[in-house]
A and B are shown apart, each in its own frame.
Chain A
């Protein structure tokens, strides 16, 4: 008897606290309701949709469309000031400076050699990362698509790094790669290999940058491919089986052709992401050792936001990056359209 009374008391207390806390929120909502209601009376029903899209569109216009145009202005002006009035027009000066080389076959003679290193590193990164990502994601998706136990658990296991922040992912692996007490070096020790100072070796850090980037994102692409695999009608497999096709034949003749559109989307998507890679690698290596893992976006960030703040040159590189991304996006759109047409 007593228990029920006290329980009821706690319950009503909790509800009271809840109501008290939600009071300001409810008040704000009623206020919003009243304000927008009177605006609606003022402008009429017909114009309401414009009011509905206004906040979102205003933010888009100010923080995405306007900067998109301003980027051109920055790329063709010089100086170290960010204020447009203080920036002299230099025409193609920023691009000329980026490509000023004494000897075109030797990048080290270029004035902005780090730019070329960054482009080369990005190229190397993408060339290795994208195929590894697609192949691994495909293998994971195929394995998860089989009739196996603990499927939900395995799917989560591959997927959860996608939700970790890039900073956390990079720190997890930075800790794994420590020379003293790092797990990777300990494992190498079991095979009698002397500890490697990964941080001091450019090639190793490039390898680990790619590895970490794949580790962090492969679950995302595997999930998309898995959805694609599950969309293949089972009738096709049944028909192939009746025709006496082996498991391998079924993969080559049914799975791959049916999955091709999804595979292409994954390929282009990971290309777009790879070209823009920044945070994982920035936290893991800081671009080092030296300039071994400086990627294009990090070069833009460094050139613009670190002294001497060469905004113009950074914007020029942004424009070139935007052109590459636009090209990839157009390819993706064409592929998407083909995919929807095929369905």
Chain B
């Protein structure tokens, strides 16, 4: 009797905790009660989050799967690897299987040789010297374990010139970003802090460049690039895209807020114009420069059409994106290595976003800059 009431108390307690947890998770910020609209909002957002995250998570999980379970239907979420054991008398480790015995019980054994038709050959682990027994394949299940194995990654690095792609991507991204920051800020400084003949024309020209997408000028661009000797050259991917109109615009708007008095004071003290730019305006524009640096990094790292046109089929100059594209376009796609390379190529972006997401989202919301 006492026991029963204690149990009842437990369930009541449990129910109370459950309700509390539920209320905590779903309570609105103001502490008001949850309405139907709130429930629908949460369902919509949770469903959306799953649709956005799961494909990438699936890719990452798949990249740890061995080729033997990669194409398995139905696939598993976690990366399963076959468990093997060293058996005396056999040079290679043998895959372990659970074999259904005649009495219905399972016995762990090792499989030898190939599966022929519907039969496999297994040996007893306790008596490895005995000749293998034949069993029907529906009576065996391979023994598997979850393991985050890096062999796809090491294979990808061995089998493909991953290092070359990575080097090219890093060189392009870093030098193009440095160049973007330098020349965009120089132009922005001139356009925001000087009055000179032709200033408005130049500003309009830069803004109109925003409206000329590469897709409509790619043929003459290729001609110009090859004429100045930049086709099949990393400089051809670094220099032309560095003069981003978005960057000039963003920095100019920011530099307009720097008080002119500072610049005047420096000028009276005898500073050269270059010194003023380099020593006064640049440090003050640091927040805007940081935002542009993040964006330039993303643009250049993810670029596809421009390197494709400029670098053509030169595999020794290809960036990570071009390398991925060329391997996925092959007749016999080696998904095990390709998945690992894809994960490696998205790591830097995820890393940067993870640290700087606040700046990125506010930067986009306030300026609408992308690509």
22 contacts between A and B (CB under 8 A): A33-B274, A56-B187, A56-B243, A62-B240, A66-B224, A69-B220, A82-B219, A143-B45, A147-B30, A148-B28, A148-B45, A157-B49, A161-B52, A165-B301, A168-B302, A172-B56, A172-B58, A178-B335, A215-B55, A223-B364, A224-B364, A283-B325
From A55, A83, A301, B218 is in contact (CB under 8 Å) with: A301
Contact yes or no, A60 B30, CB < 8 A: no
| 17 more CB-based (< 8 A) A-B contacts, given A33-B274, A55-B186 | A37-B275, A53-B187, A57-B206, A67-B221, A68-B217, A69-B220, A156-B353, A156-B361, A157-B48, A157-B53, A158-B52, A164-B56, A164-B349, A165-B321, A167-B345, A181-B72, A223-B361
From A52, A63, A186, B187 is in contact (CB under 8 Å) with: A52
Contact yes or no, B324 A168, CB < 8 A: yes
Of chain B, the residue at the smallest CB distance from A175 is B59
Q: Which residues of B contact A186 (CB under 8 A)?
A: 73-75
Of the candidate stretches A127-135, A236-244, A317-325, the one touching chain B is: A317-325
Contact yes or no, A59 B183, CB < 8 A: yes
Chain A nearest CB, measured from B183 CB (Å): 4
Using a CB–CB cutoff of 8 Å, the interface residues on chain A facing chain B are 33, 36-37, 40-41, 45-46, 48-50, 52-53, 55-57, 59-60, 62-71, 73-74, 82-84, 139-140, 143-144, 146-149, 153-168, 171-176, 178, 180-183, 185-186, 189, 195, 215, 219-220, 223-224, 226-227, 247, 269, 276, 278-279, 283, 286, 297, 300-301, 304-305, 311, 314-315, 318-319, 321-322, 325-326, 329
Of chain A, the residue at the smallest CB distance from B63 is A175
From A50, A53, A143, A183, B44 is in contact (CB under 8 Å) with: A143
Of the candidate stretches B7-15, B123-131, B194-202, B258-266, the one touching chain A is: B194-202
Q: Which residues of A contact B303 (CB under 8 A)?
A: 165
User: Does B191 lie at the interface of the complex (its beta carbon under 8 Å from any beta carbon of A)?
Assistant: yes
From A158, A171, A176, B328 is in contact (CB under 8 Å) with: A171
Q: Which residues of B contact A182 (CB under 8 A)?
A: 75
Contact yes or no, A59 B239, CB < 8 A: yes
Chain A nearest CB, measured from B38 CB (Å): 7
From A64, A168, A175, A305, B58 is in contact (CB under 8 Å) with: A175
Secondary structure of the B side of the interface? helix
Known: A167-B321, A168-B346, A171-B338. A311 touches B73 (CB 8 A): no
Using a CB–CB cutoff of 8 Å, the interface residues on chain B facing chain A are 25-30, 37-38, 41-42, 44-45, 48-49, 51-56, 58-59, 62, 70-75, 182-184, 186-187, 189-191, 194, 196, 199, 202, 205-206, 209, 211-213, 215-226, 228, 239-240, 242-243, 245, 248, 272-275, 277-278, 298, 301-305, 309, 312, 321, 324-325, 328-329, 335, 338-339, 342, 345-346, 349-350, 352-353, 357, 360-361, 364-366, 368, 370
Known: A158-B48, A167-B324. A189 touches B74 (CB 8 A): yes
Distance A147 CA – B304 CA, assembled complex (angstroms): 39
Contact yes or no, A279 B183, CB < 8 A: no
Contact yes or no, A60 B213, CB < 8 A: no
Contact yes or no, A66 B272, CB < 8 A: no
Distance A48 CA – B218 CA, assembled complex (angstroms): 33
Of chain B, the residue at the smallest CB distance from A165 is B302
Contact yes or no, A67 B51, CB < 8 A: no
Q: Which residues of B contact A161 (CB under 8 A)?
A: 52, 56
Of chain B, the residue at the smallest CB distance from A309 is B219
Contact yes or no, B346 A49, CB < 8 A: no
Of chain B, the residue at the smallest CB distance from A312 is B219
Distance A171 CA – B272 CA, assembled complex (angstroms): 52
Contact yes or no, B346 A148, CB < 8 A: no
Contact yes or no, A68 B187, CB < 8 A: no
Distance A52 CA – B75 CA, assembled complex (angstroms): 58
Of chain A, the residue at the smallest CB distance from B45 is A154
Chain B nearest CB, measured from A81 CB (Å): 10
Distance A292 CA – B251 CA, assembled complex (angstroms): 43
Chain B nearest CB, measured from A340 CB (Å): 14
Q: Which residues of A contact B206 (CB under 8 A)?
A: 56-57, 60
Contact yes or no, B187 A67, CB < 8 A: no
Known: A48-B273, A70-B224. A163 touches B298 (CB 8 A): yes
Q: Which residues of A contact B221 (CB under 8 A)?
A: 63, 67
Could you say which of A183, A189, A300 has the most chain B C-beta atoms within 10 Å of its C-beta?
Answer: A183
Contact yes or no, A167 B325, CB < 8 A: yes
Contact yes or no, B361 A215, CB < 8 A: no
Contact yes or no, A82 B222, CB < 8 A: yes
Chain A nearest CB, measured from B138 CB (Å): 20
Known: A33-B278, A286-B329. A84 touches B223 (CB 8 A): yes
Contact yes or no, B215 A276, CB < 8 A: yes
From B53, B183, B220, A315 is in contact (CB under 8 Å) with: B220
Q: Which residues of A contact B187 (CB under 8 A)?
A: 52-53, 55-57
Distance A135 CA – B145 CA, assembled complex (angstroms): 44
Known: A62-B224, A148-B41, A172-B59. A321 touches B301 (CB 8 A): no
Contact yes or no, A56 B186, CB < 8 A: yes
Q: Which residues of B contact A314 (CB under 8 A)?
A: 219
Contact yes or no, B216 A71, CB < 8 A: yes
Of chain B, the residue at the smallest CB distance from A225 is B365
Distance A143 CA – B206 CA, assembled complex (angstroms): 37
Distance A167 CA – B319 CA, assembled complex (angstroms): 12
Q: Which residues of A contact B51 (CB under 8 A)?
A: 215
Of chain A, the residue at the smallest CB distance from B242 is A59
Contact yes or no, A52 B338, CB < 8 A: no
Distance A311 CA – B56 CA, assembled complex (angstroms): 38
Of chain B, the residue at the smallest CB distance from A297 is B215
Q: Which residues of A contact B365 (CB under 8 A)?
A: 223-224, 226-227
Chain B nearest CB, measured from A155 CB (Å): 6
Q: Which residues of A contact B272 (CB under 8 A)?
A: 37, 40-41, 45
Distance A341 CA – B368 CA, assembled complex (angstroms): 19
Distance A224 CA – B183 CA, assembled complex (angstroms): 28
Contact yes or no, B309 A305, CB < 8 A: yes
Contact yes or no, A165 B223, CB < 8 A: no
Contact yes or no, B29 A148, CB < 8 A: yes
Contact yes or no, B304 A49, CB < 8 A: no
Known: A59-B240, A82-B223, A186-B73. A174 touches B218 (CB 8 A): no
Q: Which residues of B contact A40 (CB under 8 A)?
A: 272-274
